[in-house]
Amino acid sequence: MAQLPLPSVCDKKMIRQEILASRRPVLPRQNRQLIANLLISLHHIKPTVIAATWPLPGEADLRPLCEQLVRAGYCVVLPQTPPKGEPLIFREWRCDRPMRKGRFGTWHPTGGRKEPDVILVPFVAFDRQGGRLGYGGGYYDRTLPLYPQATLIGYGLSSQEREALPMDEYDHRLPVIVTEREIIQIRKNEG
């Protein structure tokens, strides 16, 4: 069976715009099932410090997950978005800790910096080869190499799946992708 050609890197912007324009609100049942699947994935890893995210409009809301994790004794960190060109800064989050408004409509805690051993990575789109398309700022692409020991778990809705995404040398394939429907383990190509 012949392989379909991958879209060119120039297509990233077009794919991103298409997906964001067609994005529908995350339904409560979708959010609950996504969180349940993330909990299953995290249970198998048994991390100490988990990097999550505060939701942007149209994204899955991980706040209930963060609350469950903190109650269970995990340390949860959220990213602070620095000026363009710099990596994310992970700060400890707790329910009682104040939040500050950040760049691009984000929020981050005022807690101290922590190094995560699991990073939950949001995406605009994903493919079954572990490809991830973000918002285009490159923040995760600059951040992930700083934490080579961290387990990466991409998360989002199944409707964000595409057959193939353009990838370049700065993009990082995700070994696990979690949606409200399934947990996808990406097999590394042998070669």
Tens-binned pLDDT, residue by residue, of the chain (191 aa): 444 454 455 588 888 888 888 888 999 999 999 999 999 999 989 899 999 999 988 899 999 999 999 999 999 999 999 988 899 999 999 988 889 998 877 889 998 999 999 999 999 999 999 999 998 888 999 999 999 999 999 999 999 999 999 988 888 899 999 999 999 999 875 33
What does residue 147 show for φ and ψ, rounded to 5 degrees? -130, 65
Task: Return the C-alpha torsion angle 108, 27, 175, 93, nearest 10.
Answer: 20
R_g (Cα) of the chain, nearest Å: 16
Tokens read off for 168: 């370049």
Q: In this structure, how many other beta carbons lie within 10 angstroms of the beta carbon of residue 48?
A: 12
Of 111, 114, 116, 126, the C-alpha closest to 183 is 126
Task: Give the C-alpha separation, 110 to 15, whole Å.
Answer: 35
Which residues lie closer than 8 Å to 189 by C-beta, 6 or more apart? none
Q: Which residue has the tokens 């363009």?
A: 84
The three-class DSSP label of residue 162 is coil
User: 54-77 burial string, b = 16+ CB within 10 Å, else e?
Assistant: bbeeebbbbbebbebbbeeebbbb
